[in-house]
Structure formats: C-alpha cells, structure tokens
Chains A and B, each alone.
Chain A
Amino acid sequence: VERRSTNTPSAQGEDVHAEGDLLAKARGGNLFAFEEIVKRYQRRVYGVALRIVRRHDVADDVAQEAFIRAFRALDRFDTARPFGPWICRIAANLAVNHVRSPRAREEELPSGPGETSSPGEDPLGSVLAREARAVLDRGLASLPADQRAVLVLRAVEGLSYKEIAESLGIAQGTVMSRLFRARERLAAVLSPYWDTEALRARGEGA
C-alpha cells in the first residue's frame, strides 16, 4: 500500500498505515484514507450484513450504508479504539432494522448464502455435512432477525454481550435470551446431524 497522503511521516516502512492514523485522516475528510479503511473491513462488514439480511443486494446496501454512516460519525468515534467492532455494530444495526422493516417482509423469503452452494469448496466436506449445512442455513433463515443478529455478532464477530446490547439498542438480558433461543433452535435443527463426524469435527475445531 502506498502512502498517498503526506502530512504524517509516521507510517513505518512498508507497513500499512496505522489504523488510527487512517481514521484521523478520514475524519479530516480524506477519502483516500477512508477508502483504505473500507478495503480493510469490507468483507467483514458485508459478512455481518449478509448473515443477517441473507440477500446479497440488501447486504450490499447495508454494507455501503454502514460505511457511510461510520464516515459521517467519525468525529464522534474515538480513533484510538478498534474500528472493526464499531463498524460491525453499525452494520448489524442497519441489517436488523432492514429485516424488521415492512419493505423487507414484502421481499421474497431470502435464499440464504448457504443455499447458493458455493462452487468448489465445501467447508463441511461431506454430503451429510452439506445437508446439515443446508438445514442449518434454513434454521438460521427461520430465526427472527433479532436473534440471528445477536447470534452472528456473538458467534461470528465475537462481540461481548455488552457490545451486542449497545449495537442493537437492547438490554444485556435481552441479548442473552435471544442468544439462548437462537442456539436452542439451531441445536434442535441440527440434532439429527449431531453425530456427523464432519460437523462435529468442524464444531470442535473451529
């Protein structure tokens, strides 16, 4: 990554810009710096959005909007703190709000990312595991978005209950109960496959 902005000679060697540095520049209106931030986090943000809204086009909207909101709120963000959790929280919040909206309900039931079976690699490996995955995917799709969001933020993004509560504007107790219900449901859905070696290995390994 080349250094495009010259004000600060601080970035070390070939190392990329320190995140705080980029954010500080972005806060000053430097879109180059912000674009770099977007590049770093786009997959993660999109992933959060897609897992919650379950449609590419909507996830795209959400991810874009998340970055745009983040940019506009940068002056309220402490650039010393990690950007990742913050942007993911924004994205999750937007995603949940979208799913809750009537517009989303009018849209056809999303075919999740798991069902558009990705060519080539199958993370779960076996036929049975693939079936388990489809089942899991449907299970996820059938969860209320609120629960799905909590689960994604916890299981995928590793946010704390407190962070999840803040990002979704709910109480920590609510986070726990939603998480509980989501896991219950998915565990029930997956139970027939529970002894599948692939899934088990996956579960313990990941």
Chain B
Amino acid sequence: VSTHVGDRLAAYLDGELSPRERAEIDTHLGGCAACGRRLEELSSVDAAVRALPAEAPAGYFDTFPGRVRARLEPRPRRAVWRIPVWYAAAAAALIVAVIAPVVWKRSERLSAPASQDAIMPAPRPATGRAASPAPPSTAAPSADEGALRAYQHRRGEQGLAKRAPAPPSPEGGVLGARPEAPSLEESAPDEAVSGFAERPRAAVAPAAPPAPSPAAPPRAADERVGRASVAERSSTAETEESRERRRDKKALEAAAPPPAEAEAFTLAGEEMSYRELLARTARTREEARALREAWRAYLRRYPRGAGADEARVRMVEAGYTAYQLGRDPEDLARFNEDSTEYLQQRDATQSERVRQLQRAVER
C-alpha cells in the first residue's frame, strides 16, 4: 500500500495537503482500490475515536463553572495575609534594615543559592507606613541605584531590552513599567482593573525627589497605552494611590503582587532575586530542579516584572538541564509543560531559544 500514496493519505485525510497534492491523490484514488481502502480505514479509526463517549457523571457540568470560579476568587488567600498590621510593619522594617542588605551582598558575590527569603521577601508592610515620606528601600539608595544599573545593563546584554522598554534613566530607572496581575475581585471588575490590574511598577527611585504628585494616574484601559509614561510618576503619587486602593480593601490573589506601599521594596527584591537566580548554575539534577522551582517562585512573585520573560525562558532551561542530568520523565514532563506554556504566549519574544531546547529534547 505504501508504495502508492500511503504516506500522504493521512495528510490528505487531515486536509494538510496543497490543492495540487490533493488533486494528485484524488487521481490516484480513482484507480487504486488498495489506497481507497486504506483511506477508509484511517477515517474509520478517527470516526470511531470520535464516537467513543466522553461522559461525565450526572450533574458534573452543573457545578463545574462554579468550582472554577471559586478557585479564581481571591478569598482563600486572605487568611494568609491577615496578620496584624503592626506585626507586618515590624517584620518588613526588619527585613529591609537587616536581612535585605545581607542577601544583597550575597547576591552580589554571585555565590549563594537563592533563598526563599529572597524570592518571597515581603510580608505586607504596615498599612500606615507607606504614608511616611521615606519608603523602606530608600534606606540604601546608593546600593539600589547601582544594582539597578547593573540589572538593566545585564538585561541589555541578554537581549531583554526589546521586551521591557526601560533603559537606565536619570529618573532612577523605571524598571519594566508593567501592569500587575489583575485582581480578581468579582464584585467590582472595573475597580479591579483600575486597581492592581493596571498598576505600573514604580521605580526604586531613590533619585526621585518628593515632587508634588502629578494628577491621579489614568485609569483602566487608557493606561495600557501609556504605561511607560505613567510609570514615571513619583513615588509620592504611588503612595497616595496605594492608600486609596487600600481603602478599597482589595484582596490579593495568590500570585498577585504585594501591596503598593511595598513597591519600592518589591522592586529591590525583584532585582535581587533576579540577579541571584541568573547567577545560579545547576550541576546536578536536584540543583536544576531547585533552580526551576526558584524561577517559578520568582515568576509567581513578579509575573509582570521586567525580568519575567527571561525568567520564563530560564525556567524552561532549568527544566531542560534537569532532564538532561537525570533523564527523569518527570523532568521531561515539566519541561514540556513549561516550554509549551512559554510558546503559547502571544508575546513570547524568545521562542526560538525555547524551540531549540525542544528540538534538543526530541533528539
């Protein structure tokens, strides 16, 4: 059979041939009973597969949408954050003052493995705290500033700049002025949009003078257009906006960013984590797995950060490395999941890098 048009029959059946090829096959089928039977067989297999029922237990679909929805609602997460405000404030202050510099130094020496602390650094800082003129991270402005430049430089080296339009700027470097993950508050979708969904990241901005705050930021969809410019707002404006948001009592979704008052700190944390993770190498399967997890944690924490795209690719790479080192199907599955997910993004700017890995794995 295969001496006829066998190897193209499937493509013929699946409508994957050009009109010319189709016509050729049609002609051949007209005079070849064997290929005709073969084609029939193929289509019968498909039809039989289609005919197999895929039924769920009775009532399953009545409750399914609600269950999905319940998982998307942010509520269950609240409990985690429901720690006393003063406690959170103290913890944040402690971290900023003591732990962060230590982690920072470690990361600068590029030697330490990323600790969970660095990746998930911030308990919510105090409610009232952000109103104070000096946000926590300004404690070490010079270090931040230098790091920011290094980070941005590094991004440039790695070709990330095209995704996140943030060259080092005199304003203190707007780091990837991207919106955060949408808050999923069902009762007020539009509020959600104007709240977290479109909130741009503020820069660490040690250099930003406490200028009189510009007008309230544009809201919702309008802001999509002008993210970059909006992000140049001073941190003061950011603080005021954050207080307003706090009044709205928005719940944070699991992967959602920390509250705005911690933005400056978050940014520092993001950079630290990012730099630290970039510097890590995996020599064993376990290290590679841990690195993948670390990148994943980073992405959960900073899903829209300037380093997110690179992070996604790095996560894929770490998975690839893990698989190469151990040949464990589980790693392969993770790799496949990660790489596919990456490629499914509309703005997968580094698809080729990921595809290369996929091809390497298939070999």
Given A7-B190, A73-B345 in contact, is the A34-B64 Cβ separation under 8 Å? no
Could you say which of B49, B190, B340, B362 contacts A93, with CB atoms under 8 Å apart? B340
Give chain B residues whose Cβ lies under 8 Å from the Cβ of A38. Answer: 64-65, 68-69
Could you say which of A29, A71, A204 contacts B189, with CB atoms under 8 Å apart? A29
Tell me the chain B residues, 304-363 only, with Cβ under 8 Å from chain A: 329-330, 332-334, 336-337, 339-341, 343-347, 358-359, 362
Verify A113–B362 contact, CB threshold 8 A.
Answer: no
A88 within 8 A of B: no
For the complex formed, measure the closest distance between the CB of A110 and the CB atoms of chain B, giving whole angstroms: 13
Could you say which of B16, B45, B182, B344 contacts A183, with CB atoms under 8 Å apart? B45
Tell me the chain A residues, 72-98 only, with Cβ under 8 Å from chain B: 72-73, 75-78, 89-90, 93-94, 96-98
Give chain A residues whose Cβ lies under 8 Å from the Cβ of B192. Answer: 28-29
Interface residues on B, range: 35 or more
Which B residue sits closest to A151, measured CB to CB?
A: B49
B50 within 8 A of A: yes
Verify A77–B346 contact, CB threshold 8 A.
Answer: yes
Give chain A residues whose Cβ lies under 8 Å from the Cβ of B336. Answer: 93, 96-97, 100, 168-169
Verify A186–B72 contact, CB threshold 8 A.
Answer: no
In whole angstroms, what is the CA distance A183 to B43 when docked? Answer: 9
Verify B52–A136 contact, CB threshold 8 A.
Answer: yes
Verify A186–B49 contact, CB threshold 8 A.
Answer: yes
- Proximity string of chain B (39-75) to chain A, C-beta cutoff 8 Å, 1 when within and 0 when not: 0111111111111111111001100111111011100
Give chain A residues whose Cβ lies under 8 Å from the Cβ of B57. Answer: 56
In whole angstroms, what is the CA distance A30 to B362 when docked? Answer: 40
Tell me the chain B residues, 63-118 only, with Cβ under 8 Å from chain A: 64-69, 71-73
For the complex formed, measure the closest distance between the CB of A144 and the CB atoms of chain B, giving whole angstroms: 11
Which B residue sits closest to A123, measured CB to CB?
A: B51
Given A118-B55, A123-B51 in contact, is the A35-B69 Cβ separation under 8 Å? yes
A152 within 8 A of B: yes
In whole angstroms, what is the CA distance A152 to B52 when docked? Answer: 11
In whole angstroms, what is the CA distance A137 to B291 when docked? Answer: 40
For the complex formed, measure the closest distance between the CB of A148 and the CB atoms of chain B, giving whole angstroms: 9
Verify B64–A204 contact, CB threshold 8 A.
Answer: no
Give chain B residues whose Cβ lies under 8 Å from the Cβ of A102. Answer: 329-330
Q: How many residues of A contact B (CB 8 A)?
A: 85
Verify B49–A156 contact, CB threshold 8 A.
Answer: yes
Give chain B residues whose Cβ lies under 8 Å from the Cβ of A73. Answer: 344-345
In whole angstroms, what is the CA distance A200 to B47 when docked? Answer: 9
Give chain B residues whose Cβ lies under 8 Å from the Cβ of A59. Answer: 56
Tell me the chain B residues, 250-271 only, with Cβ under 8 Å from chain A: 255
In whole angstroms, what is the CA distance A90 to B343 when docked? Answer: 12
Verify A206–B11 contact, CB threshold 8 A.
Answer: no
Verify B68–A67 contact, CB threshold 8 A.
Answer: yes
Tell me the chain B residues, 152-209 only, with Cβ under 8 Å from chain A: 181-186, 189-190, 192-193, 197
Could you jot down 26 A-B contacts, CB within 8 Å?
A: A28-B190, A29-B184, A29-B189, A30-B189, A31-B69, A35-B68, A43-B61, A46-B56, A64-B67, A77-B346, A100-B330, A101-B330, A113-B52, A113-B53, A113-B54, A113-B55, A136-B52, A140-B49, A161-B11, A167-B344, A171-B362, A187-B41, A187-B45, A203-B45, A203-B47, A206-B51
Given contacts A42-B61, A123-B53, A200-B44, list 8 more A-B pairs with CB under 8 A. Answer: A28-B220, A35-B68, A38-B69, A59-B56, A76-B345, A168-B336, A169-B339, A194-B41
Residues of B within 8 A of A (CB): 10-11, 14-16, 40-57, 60-61, 64-69, 71-73, 181-186, 189-190, 192-193, 197, 220, 255, 329-330, 332-334, 336-337, 339-341, 343-347, 358-359, 362
Residues of A within 8 A of B (CB): 5, 7, 25, 27-35, 38-39, 42-43, 46-47, 50-51, 56, 59-60, 63-64, 67-69, 71-73, 75-78, 89-90, 93-94, 96-98, 100-102, 112-114, 118, 123-124, 132-133, 136-137, 140, 151-152, 154-156, 160-161, 166-171, 174, 176, 179-180, 183, 186-187, 190, 194, 199-200, 202-206
